[in-house]
Amino acid sequence: MVRDGLYQGKRTQIDPFAFDDAVSDVFPDMIRRSIPGYQSLVDITGLIAAKRMRPGARCYDLGCSHGATTASILKAVGDHRCEIIAIDSSAPMIAAAAANLVDQRISFKHADIRDIDYVDASFIAANFTLQFLPPEDRLPLLKKVRKGLRHDGVFLVSEKVDDDGEFAELHLDFKRENGYSELEISQKRAALENVMRIDSQDMILARLHDAGFTDCRIWFRCLNWISILAAS
C-alpha cells in the first residue's frame, strides 16, 4: 500500500480535492488513516449485504473507489451466484477496482451514480460517496435508489456528519495519531472545503425519509462518521 503523503509539502495554492491519479495512487492508505472505523465498517457491510442477497441477487456499490466494499460483499456471499454493479466517476479509481477484483459477477461502470437506472436491487451501498454530491442532487438520487430496490431490499449509506466540537476534535486526534501533520490536515481540509459538503445526522435521516425510506437505523458510528441501513 502506497503511503499518503499528498499534502505533506507546503503548497502555495490549494486546488479543490479531486479523485485523480495522485489520490487514487494513495487512496487505500488515505481512507484507512482518515476515517475512524473504516475497515470494520467495510467488513460488516459485506456481512449485511450477504444476509439480503439470495442466489441471483443484484447489488450496486456507489462510488466503489478501489473496490473495498465490493470485495467485502463478494467475500461474504462466497460462491453464490449474484451480480454486483460497481460504479465510480473517476477513471483511475474504476481502473484500480477492475485491476484489484477479477470476478465474473462484477460489472464495473465508469459513470456518474446520478445517471444510473437502479433496477431490482437487493442491496445498494454508498460508503462515503453521497457527501461528494452537490447537496441539491442528494434527494433525487435517494429517490432513484429507493425505487430501484426490491420491496425487501436495503440501502446502506455511510457519511461524515456535522457534529458537536468534541467528536470533530477527536477525529483530528485520530488523524494525528495516524501520522498526519498539522500542515497535511489543514491543507487537505482546505482542498475538501467546497468538494465534500457534510450534513448533520438529522438532515441525513430527514432526507432519507423524504425519499421514502421509512425504516432507518444507524448501525455503525465512530465519532463523527455514521452508517445507516435504510429500508421502506
Binding site for ligand SAM (CB under 6 A): 19, 31, 42, 63-65, 68-69, 87-90, 93, 112-114, 127-129, 132-133
At a CB cut-off of 8 Å and minimum separation 6, what does 20 contact?
90, 92
* Residue whose C-beta lies closest to ligand SAM: 63
Q: Which lies closer to ligand SAM via its Cβ, residue 115 or residue 202?
A: 115
Q: Which is nearer to ligand SAM, 128 or 213 (CB)?
A: 128
Closer of 90 and 224 to ligand SAM (Cβ): 90
Q: Give the residue with the Cβ less far from ligand SAM, 127 or 224.
A: 127
**CB 62 to ligand SAM: min, Å:** 7
List Cβ neighbours of 176 (8 Å cut-off, separation of 6 or more). Answer: 182, 185
Class of residue 69 by CB neighbours under 10 A (exposed 0-12, middle 13-18, buried 19+) = buried
Cell numbers placing 158: 455511510
Residue 93 CB, nearest distance to ligand SAM (Å)? 4
- The torsion region of residue 104 among left (phi > 0), alpha (psi -120 to 50) and beta comes to alpha
Dihedral angle sign, alpha carbons of residues 110, 113, 119, 122: positive
